[in-house]
Amino acid sequence: MENSDLISVKAVVSGYVQGVFFRAFVSRWAEELGLSGYVRNLPDGAVEVVAEGERKELEKLISHLKAGPPAARVEKIVTSWAAYSGSYSGFSVRY
């Protein structure tokens, strides 16, 4: 795989997304899709996802974010794409 196929995305997910296993849900999908980065809760009640990998896998992750785990209610996702940094060794849940 060439590095030109790699990209980074930051997604901020708003709605009822904390306390509903959202971070575990994101982490499971990111690992299954072979992505690196992290997921964390934000003080305003949103969840931030920073992920790197192949664009098609990142787009799959974003589609899973839109659905969320069963107890979640996703109201809005703001995404911003950036250059691949290669600074994550795997995918982690930050507390």
Laid out side by side, the sheet with 36-41 consists of 73-83, 6-16, 47-54, 36-41, 91-94
The terminus-to-terminus CA distance of the chain in angstroms comes to: 32
Q: Out of 41, 55, 73, 94, which one is annotated catalytic?
A: 41
Q: Catalytic residue, from 3, 23, 40, 55: name it.
A: 23
Active site residue 23: yes
Q: Could you confirm whether 3 is annotated as catalytic?
A: no
List the catalytic residues. 23, 41
